[in-house]
């Protein structure tokens, strides 16, 4: 009875995680470069001690090797790219592929982002959401007609010269991008499971190429999320029924003794 | 304890175990490729051990079996999500040897190998599968990256009557590992759902709860009877 109670509680918790994740995805349906998270359910087995013997030396539980003990939920970052939408803004750069921009956090450590709505920071450096790209590309105040080529070269016209190369944007690639840890603000941090970071020229190392004048929209599909939400909610409800039933069973058991 | 009470107590415990099985199925309703447990009640007592077992608490007379019917396929559009059409299993390398699973929500690990969510390598005909970039996986299990064949997924076929042993984490072990199945079809971008049906589980829940109540009435009735016997029979 208490087994069923705790097993169903794991189910409720796992479904709760799913509802929370869907809420976060839906909230970010319009966030540039947002990657949705998906919930993976796994079943859990409680292995019974094999060879456990009773006082008489016979194996009590020889028929059952293990029993189901509920479900747990874990999160996975979707690696699907969102759609590229045209904005015509010279500083909007989308990544057509699996790579990430590398930015430098105020404490000097690197972070990774797909948000390509670039701007200039206070030092005139190309930056994403105020954090400078690690390539440190300075754009002079009098530069115009800024161009970013698919392979990452940043060109501009200066008053005295045409087609001056200001720097190169490099893209960071990971063996397992789904293993990156989300830091909020569209930023990701490398982890042990994401694998070694490789910086490379866009278009050459499988990290994808750059598209100036485009932004990557969030890869959240509202319809998919709403269907998942319904499933998660009903799943939660059903698990709560099992908890109720287990509680009822305990009540009935207590009523066995009539005390007369 | 008298025999009637003992077997009624067994019945109560069996119902509690059945509720655990239902709870586990419902908790795993959304687990990828989960196979529902079925609680099977059957008398297991052999004569010789009866007396001894009554002393130490009997083992449960409920066993659970695995319902191996496949779930349906649901589209996810993730390139590393694979589903098997028809029978067959993916072969996984675990620290305790090779295991089988139908759960195809794979990912890459830090070395770029195709692994399960738990981090165990998915095996191809040449061992672990190294993937650099986004793979295209053909229905016959050929893994290609950028047009180049890099591996062939191993799909194992298990005879229908073989009872698989669940290892947890949706992995199973079979007594002997079967050969590759040339007829298996792999679908990329799909996942297999669990084969839990909510209606079935709810009906089973009602049945179990009502049975539990009925048995409780019997215990009370027996209790009344014994009570009467003690107080009434002694009167002259």
Q: What is the pLDDT along chain A (260 residues), one digit of tens a residue?
A: 678 888 898 899 999 999 999 999 999 998 888 888 888 888 887 655 444 433 333 333 333 445 678 888 888 888 777 888 888 888 899 988 888 999 998 888 899 998 888 888 888 888 888 888 888 888 888 888 888 888 888 888 888 888 888 888 889 888 888 788 888 788 888 888 787 888 888 887 678 888 899 988 888 989 989 999 999 999 999 999 999 999 999 999 888 887 76
> Residue A249 is nearest to which of B19, B78, B112, comparing CB atoms?
B19
What's residue B76's pLDDT?
A: 83
Q: pLDDT class for B108, splitting at 50, 70, 90? A: confident
Q: pLDDT class for B233, splitting at 50, 70, 90? A: confident
Instruction: Tell me which chain A residues have a C-beta less than 8 angstroms from the C-beta of B165.
Output: 65-66
- Residue A241, Cβ neighbours under 10 Å: how many? 17
Q: Are A64 and B63 within 8 A, CB to CB?
A: yes
Given the structure tokens 């649901």, which residue do they identify?
A: B74
Q: Are B216 and A252 within 8 A, CB to CB?
A: yes
- Top-confidence residue, B168 or A230: A230
Q: Return the percent helix, strand and coil in chain B, to nearest 5.
A: 30, 30, 40
CA A39/CA A25 separation, integer angstroms: 11
User: Can you tell me the ipTM of this complex?
Assistant: 0.74
- Residue B155, Cβ neighbours under 10 Å: how many? 24
Q: pLDDT class for B83, splitting at 50, 70, 90? A: very high
- Top-confidence residue, B43 or B228: B228
The whole-model pTM stands at: 0.76
Q: Does B64 touch chain A (CB under 8 A)?
A: yes
Q: Which of A57-71, A186-200, B103-117, B201-215 has maximum average pLDDT?
A: B201-215
CA B132/CA A175 separation, integer angstroms: 7
Q: Does A179 touch chain B (CB under 8 A)?
A: yes
């Amino acid at each position: 009875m208490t087994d069923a109670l705790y097993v169903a509680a794991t189910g409720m918790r796992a479904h709760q995680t799913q509802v929370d994740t869907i809420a976060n995805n839906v909230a970010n349906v319009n966030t540039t470069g947002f990657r949705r998270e998906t919930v993976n359910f796994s079943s859990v087995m409680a292995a019974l001690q094999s060879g456990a013997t009773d006082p008489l030396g016979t194996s009590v539980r020889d028929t059952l090797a293990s029993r189901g003990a509920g479900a747990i939920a874990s999160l996975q970052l979707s690696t699907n790219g969102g759609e590229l939408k045209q904005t015509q803004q010279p500083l909007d750069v989308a990544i057509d592929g699996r790579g990430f921009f590398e930015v430098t956090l105020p404490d000097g450590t690197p972070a990774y982002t797909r948000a390509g709505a670039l701007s200039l920071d206070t030092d005139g450096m190309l930056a994403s959401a105020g954090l400078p790209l690690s390539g440190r590309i300075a754009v002079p105040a009098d530069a115009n007609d800024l161009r970013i080529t698919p392979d990452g070269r940043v060109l501009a016209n200066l008053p005295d010269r045409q087609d001056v190369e200001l720097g190169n944007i490099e893209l960071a690639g990971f063996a397992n991008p789904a293993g990156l840890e989300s830091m909020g603000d569209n930023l990701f941090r490398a982890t042990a499971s994401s694998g070694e970071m490789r910086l490379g020229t866009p278009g050459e190392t499988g990290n994808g190429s750059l598209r100036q004048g485009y932004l990557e929209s969030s890869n959240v599909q509202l319809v998919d999320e709403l269907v998942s939400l319904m499933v998660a909610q009903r799943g939660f409800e059903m698990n709560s029924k099992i908890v109720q039933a287990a509680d009822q069973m305990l009540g009935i058991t207590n009523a066995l003794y009539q005390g007369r | 304890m008298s025999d009637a009470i003992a077997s009624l107590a067994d019945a109560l415990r069996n119902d509690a175990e059945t509720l655990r099985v239902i709870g586990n199925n419902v908790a795993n309703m959304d687990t990828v490729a989960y196979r529902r447990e079925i609680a099977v009640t059957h008398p297991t007592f052999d004569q010789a051990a009866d007396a001894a077992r009554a002393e130490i608490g009997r083992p449960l007379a409920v066993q659970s079996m695995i319902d191996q019917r496949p779930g349906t396929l649901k589209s996810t559009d993730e390139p590393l999500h694979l589903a098997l059409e028809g029978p067959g299993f993916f072969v996984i390398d675990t620290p305790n040897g090779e295991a089988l699973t139908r759960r195809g929500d794979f990912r890459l690990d830090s070395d770029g190998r195709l692994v399960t969510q738990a981090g165990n390598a998915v095996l191809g005909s040449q061992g672990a599968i190294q993937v650099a970039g986004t793979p295209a996986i053909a229905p016959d299990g050929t893994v290609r990256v950028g047009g180049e064949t890099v591996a062939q997924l191993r799909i194992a076929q298990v005879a229908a009557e073989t009872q698989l042993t669940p290892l947890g984490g949706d992995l199973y072990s079979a007594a002997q590992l079967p050969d590759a199945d040339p007829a298996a079809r792999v679908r990329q971008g799909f996942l297999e759902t669990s084969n839990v049906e909510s209606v079935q589980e709810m009906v089973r829940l009602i049945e179990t709860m009502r049975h539990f109540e009925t048995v409780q009435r019997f215990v009370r009735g027996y209790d009344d009877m014994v009570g009467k016997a003690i107080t009434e029979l002694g009167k002259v």
